[in-house]
């Protein structure tokens, strides 16, 4: 029985063309190794570029860090100024509304002459207009 099995396996090995079976695998492995080398080269390039960017820009950001406090304070002051201007403009609009009502003037006269150009300029500069509630 062992001899018969050995003969059967010998026939199978003799009939199988190992070159046809193994060569495609070797070709695929070689292709995969070439792609792996290409990937490794790209990865090394990305790492080098990343390190270069980090070295250049982090130093610049760290050198500017002293100015962040001043910049933050200036932005806060600008926001307070814009809020105050908006508040004052709303008060002016309320006063114009009262004056129009007292004088029986139509909606388009005083507001159109005084506030519409100002509102257009504020909108052009990117500020929002919060009209007072009547």
Q: Name the more confident of 103 and 10.
A: 10
Question: How do residues 66-77 score in pLDDT, each as one tens digit?
Answer: 788 888 999 999
Question: How do residues 93-129 score in pLDDT, each as one tens digit?
Answer: 888 778 777 777 665 665 666 666 667 777 777 766 5
pLDDT score, position 124 = 75
Closest C-alpha to 132, from 117, 115, 120, 112: 115
Q: What is the CA radius of gyration of the chain?
A: 40
Give the HSE-up count for residue 36: Cα atoms under 13 Å, Cβ half-sphere. Answer: 6
What's the mean pLDDT in 80-86?
92
Whether 133 has a pLDDT exceeding 60, the answer reads no
What distance in Å separates the CA atoms of residue 103 and residue 3, rounded to the nearest whole number?
123
Q: Name the more confident of 61 and 41.
A: 41
Question: How do residues 27-37 score in pLDDT, each as one tens digit?
Answer: 899 999 999 99
What distance in Å separates the CA atoms of residue 114 and residue 33, rounded to the nearest whole number?
76
Check the CA dihedral 15-16-19-20 and report its sign.
positive
What distance in Å separates the CA atoms of residue 97 and residue 132, rounded to the nearest whole number?
10
Give the HSE-up count for residue 71: Cα atoms under 13 Å, Cβ half-sphere. Answer: 5
pLDDT score, position 13 = 77
Copy the structure tokens of residue 61: 């950001």
Q: Name the more confident of 17 and 47.
A: 47
Report percent pLDDT > 90 for the chain: 26
pLDDT score, position 79 = 94
Q: Looking up tokens 């909108």, which residue turns up? A: 123
């Amino acid at each position: 029985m062992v001899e018969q099995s050995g003969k059967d396996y010998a026939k199978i090995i003799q009939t199988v063309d190992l070159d046809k079976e193994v060569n495609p695998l070797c070709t695929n492995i070689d292709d995969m190794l070439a792609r792996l080398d290409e990937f490794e080269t790209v990865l090394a390039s990305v790492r080098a570029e990343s390190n270069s960017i980090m070295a250049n820009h982090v130093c610049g950001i760290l050198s500017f860090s002293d100015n962040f406090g001043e910049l933050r304070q200036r932005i806060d002051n600008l926001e307070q100024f814009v809020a105050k201007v908006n508040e004052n403009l709303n008060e002016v609009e309320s006063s114009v509304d009262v004056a129009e009502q007292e004088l029986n003037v139509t909606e388009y006269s005083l507001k159109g002459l005084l506030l519409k150009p100002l509102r257009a300029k504020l909108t052009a500069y990117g500020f929002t207009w919060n009209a007072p509630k009547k």
